[in-house]
Amino acid sequence: MGMTMTQKILAGHAGKKEVKAGELIMSSLDMVLGNDITAPVAIREFARIGMDEVFDKAKIALVPDHFTPNKDIKSAEQVKILREFAREKGIINYFEVGQMGIEHALLPEKGLVVPGDAVIGADSHTCTYGALGAFSTGVGSTDMAAGMATGKAWFKVPEAIKFVLKGKPGKWIGGKDIILHIIGMIGVDGALYKSMEFVGEGVHALSMDDRFCMANMAIEAGAKNGIFIVDEKTEQYVHEHSDRDYVVYEADSDAVYSEEHVIDISKIEPTVAFPHLPENTRTVGEAGEVKIDQVVIGSCTNGRIEDLRIAAEVLKGRKVYTDVRCIIIPATQKIWKQAMNEGLFDIFIDAGAAVSTPTCGPCLGGHMGILAKGERAVATTNRNFVGRMGHPESEVYLTGPAVAAASAVAGRITTPDDLD
């Protein structure tokens, strides 16, 4: 019986010729990731089990990004735990303020993940790296501690759902619209503990930034991981960012899938997820009159350079609506500098938006854009649960950068085409 891409990666890292869905395996790891919320718990567990050294100083990454720059004393103490642990254990990949970025944009940019890798991270959106043809998944802090100590993790081999993409997306359609469409179609538990495998000629029409966005939100369908086929775009990205060797895994022709969906991405329209679940999707044309108070463009989902360019294209020569706060957050220092050098900051600031240092801040209701009672935000983030960005009686509407920027100008949910 054939194997899927994910199953082949797990078999290789478990030292087995083949694995089957439902099988329990012990897998070696190429990267273990933690942030300023989850890693302190893992570090305490690491000490509790009596470990003195990490398994590999180059295969652990600690990225303070959720409450940084530190918003208060408690967040400062959390980051201090990471900083001291990294120094004590000689961890190479520790990224402090000034070098930092949002973890799931930073690791690919630094070349720390390549095709064929097996990665765990104590953050649910670790599935982002599946865009590179890697197996990557979120775990709890205890599993992170064990990973740092042993370089291994237990997995139940997941079943897979095959998504065959065809066609080419329209002008304002990006990875966010496509993945919201898919989540709206299958539901937030539609891929529960399964691998979402993206294949087909439509994949080649998607940029790497589109793919990172889509893999990032696989968890919002309940998936164990999302993974894309490796093509020329993938390999070009890897060669530009990493000097590591890598392995390209392809699914067998007789691989078994629990479901298969064929999606014509040329027919997908600008999409928005209404409160309070990512599955609550509508096209923007079906949204009706939804007035908003805030727009956030950024996050590990849509804070990359392509996202900022799209936002700038919409905002150029326009003004943010008087009653709207528009916050733009480049995902890494490199992206921040690139956007500045391209003149995007001039466009944003002239339009009346604010530009932030890289941070997860508003996405999880941490800082840099908290919502008050009754307020509504359009956000390019990945979750819109009750109270996700602030007050439990606030509302978050998930969109891509084109709709977010257009909505900032109109003061209501709309598309760029409807501004003219």
Q: How confident is the model at residue 17 (pLDDT cuts 50, 70, 90)?
A: very high
Q: What is the mean pLDDT of residues 222-227?
A: 97
**DSSP notation for 168-237:** ---TT--HHHHHHHHHHHH-TTTTTTEEEEEESGGGGGS-HHHHHHHHHGGGGGT-SEEEE---HHHHHH
Whole-angstrom Cα distance, residue 348 to residue 258? Answer: 45
Q: What is the mean pLDDT of residues 304-309?
A: 97
Nearest CA-CA partner of 135 in 257, 27, 252: 27
Question: What pLDDT is attached to residue 1?
Answer: 74
Give me the CATH topology for the region 272-419.
Aconitase; domain 3 (3.30.499)
Beta bridge partner(s), residue 390? 371
Question: What pLDDT is attached to residue 139?
Answer: 95
Nearest CA-CA partner of 223 in 197, 180, 193, 198: 193
pTM of the model: 0.94
pLDDT at 173 over 90: yes
Q: How many helices (H) and strands (E) does the chain have?
A: 13, 18
5-264: CATH class: alpha beta
Q: What is the mean pLDDT of residues 69-87?
A: 93
Q: Name the region of 244 (left: φ>0; alpha: ψ -120 to 50; beta: rest).
A: beta
Question: What pLDDT is attached to residue 150?
Answer: 96
Each residue's pLDDT tens digit, 357-394: 999 888 888 889 999 999 999 999 999 998 998 999 99
Q: Please, what sign has the CA dihedral across residues 410, 346, 213, 402?
A: positive
3-state secondary structure of 319: coil
pLDDT mean across residues, the chain: 95
Kindly calculate the radius of gyration of the chain based on its CA atoms and give it in whole angstroms: 20
CATH 3.30.499.10 residue ranges of the chain are: 5-264, 272-419
Name the percent of the chain lying above pLDDT 70.
Answer: 100
Whole-angstrom Cα distance, residue 6 to residue 228? Answer: 10
pLDDT at 234 over 80: yes
Q: How confident is the model at residue 420 (pLDDT cuts 50, 70, 90)?
A: confident
